[in-house]
A and B are shown apart, each in its own frame.
Chain A
Amino acid sequence: MDKKEILFGLMVSVFLAMVLSPFASPWPDGLEKIAEDKGFMEKGDIKPVFSSPIPDYSWPHFKSEKLATSCAGAAGTLLVFGIGCGLAALIRRRQIQ
């Protein structure tokens, strides 16, 4: 893959996470909905085992909820791009050695 193709793939992903994600359906997903309907949602109401820096894809201290989601989405997309490439490069290097 050349630089142009990598940039294209990354830009499409950042576009989805930054521009479209604030307009995603706010309804609960399949599992959450079933947990509500079948009455086991409260089992999840426990103190989080680990306190995440950006809970619920919403950048903290942002007045606009849409903007908070946009920022969280863009940051997350770039982060997992970095981890994905980094991990692949790491195993590639070990394989050559």
Chain B
Amino acid sequence: MHIPDGFLTANTWVPAWLISAGGMSYCLKKTARLLKDKIVPLMGIMAAFVFAAQMLNFPVMGGTSGHFLGGVLAAVLLGPYAGAVVIAVVLTAQCFIFQDGGVTTLGANIFNMAFVGAVGGYFIYSLIRNITKDNQGIIVASGIAAWFSVVVASSACAVELAISGTSPLGVALPAMAGVHALIGIGEAIITCLVIGFVLKVRPDLIYKKGE
């Protein structure tokens, strides 16, 4: 759901840039406060993994594909702030090096996938974690949050398209949320597999609030 240049008008992409720039500077400050030595290389690995996995489009229905977004995965391992920074790094490289997502729309893409996807996804994850405390709960919460993160991020994208007059909300919202409800299943499966693997080999790498 990387929005290219031209899909959003200035009344949408300018505010999105401002919100994302402000939000990112807050996330960087928070990351600086929480950053431990162990997560320095983990931020690099998460960026590499999310970038690579985003290249692997899988078919979801006739003529449509989807790919992993990674917001919840990054946030469950690194926390919501460093997680959002990692997604923003990937989106910025994709925009400037690979022409995936526009320059004017980078702010909106960071808003949708880093803030709604990673920070919002982490919020859903924490809510579910309050009910399920064990390791099994981490996997279940990650999977559900991963599905929601994709559907909600795609809905935010639909709202931006509507504000820009590109496509009316009544058309864009059901279409985007509908396709991404399917793509979200792939997101949930990949997120659960990776989190399950990390829990087996290095459970201490899972982010714990207030530590």
Contact = CB atoms under 8 A, between A and B. Distances in A.
Contact of A85 (B2, B40, B53, B154): B40
B35 A13 contact: no
A34 B40 contact: no
A15 B66 CA distance: 20
Main secondary structure of the interface of A (DSSP, over half): helix
Contacts, number: 209
B185 interface: no
Interface residues of B, number: 70
Contact of B4 (A16, A30, A44, A51): A44
A33 B179 contact: yes
A49 B102 contact: yes
Interface in A49-73: 49-57, 69, 72-73
B167 interface: yes
A60 to B, nearest CB: 12
B86 A84 contact: yes
Interface string B31-53: 11101011111111111111111
Contact of B172 (A5, A15, A34, A88): A34
Contacts of A88: 31, 35, 39-41, 43-44, 82
Contact of B45 (A31, A46, A81): A81
A28 B63 contact: yes
Given A37-B175, A48-B5, A84-B43, A16 B32 contact: no
B46 A24 contact: no
B55 A82 contact: no
14 contacts: A25-B58, A28-B65, A29-B67, A31-B157, A34-B175, A34-B176, A38-B175, A40-B7, A52-B95, A56-B99, A72-B98, A84-B44, A88-B39, A95-B33
Interface of A: 1, 5-6, 9-10, 12-17, 20-21, 24-31, 33-35, 37-38, 40, 43-46, 48-57, 69, 72-73, 76-89, 91-92, 94-95
